[in-house]
Amino acid sequence: MTEWVRVPAPAKLNLFLHVLGRRPDGYHALESFFQLIDFNDYLSFSVRDDGQVSRINDVPAVTPEQDLCVRAARLLQSESGVSLGVDIRVEKHLPMGGGLGGGSSDAASTLLALNRLWRLGWSRDRLQQLALRLGADVPVFVFGENAFAQGVGEQLSAITLPQTWYVVLVPDVQVSTVAIFSHPELTRDSKSINMLDFPDVVSFQRSLCQEQVLKTGGTSDDASFTGLGRWLWRNTRNDLQPVVCQRHPQVEEAIKWLGQYAVARMTGSGACVFAAFERENEARYVLSQLPGDMYGVVAQGLAQHPLRDWVGDG
């Protein structure tokens, strides 16, 4: 019997996303907070000894040649010189075109899993460098921690966030990242943030939760939320959100609905929308109110990627 190893590929949220400008290479300079959450795709791997890399199941609208899992496996195989191959089974739960980083996370989990299964022992830095060749969001999943990101998203500084629950709404639309970043009305002149401007990251994250407490039946304790935290929530944003809402009314509708209970914001280039809650029961109460024509999930923030330690020293 063939031995299979099944691993998660978690989603990410951009707690904010600022576009600082367009770089000479055509990419955009960005700043963001990345939060990993336990809303996952799942990947299964079975090592082959004949060097073949194959995806053995169908994924709607994604051919094997386009699949970032297959591309990641072949890139790692080529760069490492390993003679082994792999069969890959993909269980998609994260929406495509949702801003949750599903394809990028799949690629990162492939790199991390095969680093162990092929016994390569590559270091995290080495895998991150390879990950960047697959896409700007792939390195943060290999990095394996919640992070303040700069550059195109590859310059990462670890941040510690308190336990938080999220309601994530999934509008029935796929957003083209390329179309949004090339839109003439996109804001591209946000000022750079210095990490020293917000030393109390816990206060920032707790401020995401503050405005929903009374609406979900809780009690508000303003003393637990610093002025700095509230200032940050009110002074950060997703610069892509106005353009996406203009092109896709479903996203604006989701933001307005979730905004009844909390401060709601789009993640990445959309289409998914999220709000943060301090307690699971608050998040599940909000989800229980969701109209029948909308879809969403409750997800917990992760302290680190489940495969974070699947790296070596080489």
Active site residues: 12, 137
Could you tell me the two tokens for 313?
Answer: 């020293």
- Residue spans per domain, the chain: 5-158, 165-300
Residue 233 binned pLDDT confidence (cut-offs 50, 70, 90): low
Which CATH architecture is the domain 165-300 placed in? 2-Layer Sandwich (3.30)
Determine the Cα–Cα distance for residues 162 and 192; give it in Å rounded to an integer. Answer: 24
- 15-69 per-position pLDDT tens digit: 999 999 887 776 788 999 999 999 999 999 999 999 999 999 999 999 999 999 9
Could you tell me the two tokens for 8?
Answer: 């998660």
| Mean pLDDT for the stretch of residues 75-92 | 98
- 262-289 per-position pLDDT tens digit: 889 999 998 999 998 889 999 999 999 9
Which CATH architecture is the domain 5-158 placed in? 2-Layer Sandwich (3.30)
Contact 166, 207 (CB under 8 A): no
Determine the Cα–Cα distance for residues 239 and 188; give it in Å rounded to an integer. Answer: 8
Residue 314 binned pLDDT confidence (cut-offs 50, 70, 90): confident
Contact 103, 68 (CB under 8 A): yes
Determine the Cα–Cα distance for residues 165 and 275; give it in Å rounded to an integer. Answer: 8
To the question of pTM greater than 0.85 for the whole model, the response is yes
